[in-house]
């Protein structure tokens, strides 16, 4: 039980300063900017720059699948076979001070999915923080994408 709610006076806060310190700790915005920075550094591995990422995972013969001001996508050959590299540039999220907790949450969740390996999802092999970009490296599934899949109407005709 909290000292502020204790029935016995001897178990309550000794003075207002202790109560204020406990109140401030309980209402502090979490994570703090320092905690966010520390958390992001957990995802800064041996690849430190976009150039190093590009060298570690060069695009295959098809080249870039997407390249614009907010991100890049490409297929590459990794140590474990073909991989999809997804990179989000700083322009995709804007103000890092404000968006830092969300970026950290995204990387944390990606790491959890890498461990869980849910059925029906490509395996996440790496989640990387480059300082100016967020990167996911996933296994490549050689399946049609939504743009090339037949419409549901067409599939219904095939099934009939």
Query: 135 near 128, Cβ under 8 Å?
Result: yes
Torsion-angle region of 94 (φ positive above 0: left; ψ -120 to 50: alpha; else: beta): left
Cis peptide before 79 (omega within 30 of 0): no
83 and 9 both lie in a single domain:
no
Over residues 41-68, the pLDDT tens digits come to 999 989 999 999 999 999 998 888 899 9
Over residues 3-27, the pLDDT tens digits come to 776 788 888 888 888 888 888 877 8
With b for 16 or more beta-carbon neighbours within 10 A and e for fewer, the 3-22 pattern comes to eeeeeeeeeebeeeeeeeee
Number of domains within the chain: 2
Report if residue 157 sits inside a domain. Answer: no
Report if residue 56 sits inside a domain. Answer: yes
Q: Which two tokens stand for residue 122?
A: 């490509």
92 and 65 both lie in a single domain:
yes
Global model pTM greater than 0.75 = no
Query: 41 near 129, Cβ under 8 Å?
Result: yes
70 and 20 both lie in a single domain:
no
Report if residue 111 sits inside a domain. Answer: yes
Report if residue 16 sits inside a domain. Answer: yes
At 33, is the pLDDT very low, low, confident or very high (cuts 50, 70, 90)?
confident
134 and 83 both lie in a single domain:
yes
Among 41, 112, 124, 116, smallest CA distance to 78 is for 124
Strands in 81-89's sheet, in edge-to-edge order, are 59-67, 71-78, 81-89, 133-139, 124-129
Q: Which domain holds residue 107?
A: 35-139
Task: Give whole-number Cα distances, 29 to 33, 57, 150, in Å.
Answer: 9, 38, 48
Report if residue 148 sits inside a domain. Answer: no
């Amino acid at each position: 039980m909290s000292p502020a709610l204790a029935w016995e006076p001897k178990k309550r806060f000794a003075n207002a300063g202790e109560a204020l310190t406990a109140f401030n700790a309980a209402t502090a915005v979490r994570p703090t900017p320092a905690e966010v920075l520390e958390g992001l550094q957990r995802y800064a591995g041996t690849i430190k720059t976009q150039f190093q990422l590009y060298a570690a995972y060069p695009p295959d013969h098809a080249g870039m699948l997407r390249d614009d001001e907010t991100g890049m996508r490409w297929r590459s050959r990794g140590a474990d076979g073909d991989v999809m590299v997804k990179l989000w540039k700083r322009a995709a999220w804007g103000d890092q001070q404000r968006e830092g907790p969300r970026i950290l949450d995204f990387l944390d969740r990606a790491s959890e999915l890498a461990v869980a390996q849910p059925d029906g999802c490509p395996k996440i092999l790496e989640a990387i923080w480059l300082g100016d970009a967020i990167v996911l490296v996933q296994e490549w599934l050689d399946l049609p994408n939504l743009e090339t899949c037949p419409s549901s109407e067409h599939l219904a005709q095939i099934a009939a």
